[in-house]
Amino acid sequence: MNETELEALKLFNSCGAIIKGHFVYASGRHGTIYVNTKTLFSDSKAISKLCRPIAERFKNSAVNSVTGPANNGVVVASWVAEHLSNLCLRKVTFVPTVKTLGNDFLIRRIFRNQIFNKRVLVVEDVLTTGGSARKVIDLVLALGGNVVGLGVFYNRGGEISRDGVDVLDFFALVNVPHQSWSESECPLCKNGIPINPDFGRGKEFLARKRSTLTV
């Protein structure tokens, strides 16, 4: 690990963002580590410190706009856009996304002129399978934008995530692959280790399990 990665990982740990247990991720896969970036978002100094290296990494990419998956990626995008504006001495626009009922994302019409024919940086807090980032990248492309790269705080998917999002320029502050399993393969489930309902999709998973038992 380089110095920037070590500092970022130290910040994650000091804020209590890395939690151990049995979790269900947004992708539906199960794992033993959950990265709770919400603990960082209440600390403006911490979030700014993490976003600065992403902006540094893409400052020479002629970025016009920054966006990311709602909700956490939107917070990251706003800070990265601000840092890029300061570094490039010009306005770099923050473009928010909103989540739809079907767990997809959209960009409201009022912001679409900041995407069409613009060089867009997509950012995210934690990358597991790259599913959310992929949806936003596809959205930007569908709206006529040019995706210059993907920047993330914490890449927990390793090369799988890199392949999954398929962008020309990928940068993660922290690269620490964590093993995950499908529900049917999960050793934690097989050993009867309870799922933590407070993070990820644990609550929804348990509710679905209960509903199938009552049918």
Q: Which pTM does this prediction carry?
A: 0.87
- The tokens describing 130, both together, are 């790259």
Contact 136, 69 (CB under 8 A): yes
* Residue-range domain boundaries for the chain: 3-198
Categorize the per-residue pLDDT at 161 as very low, low, confident or very high, splitting at 50, 70 and 90.
very low
DSSP string, 191-213: TTPPPPTTSTTHHHHHHHHHHHH
Using CA atoms, how far apart are residues 176 and 94, in angstroms rounded to an integer? 28
Mean pLDDT, residues 57-68 taken together? 98
Residues 74-87: pLDDT tens digits? 999 999 999 999 99
Q: Please name the CATH architecture into which domain 3-198 falls.
A: 3-Layer(aba) Sandwich (3.40)
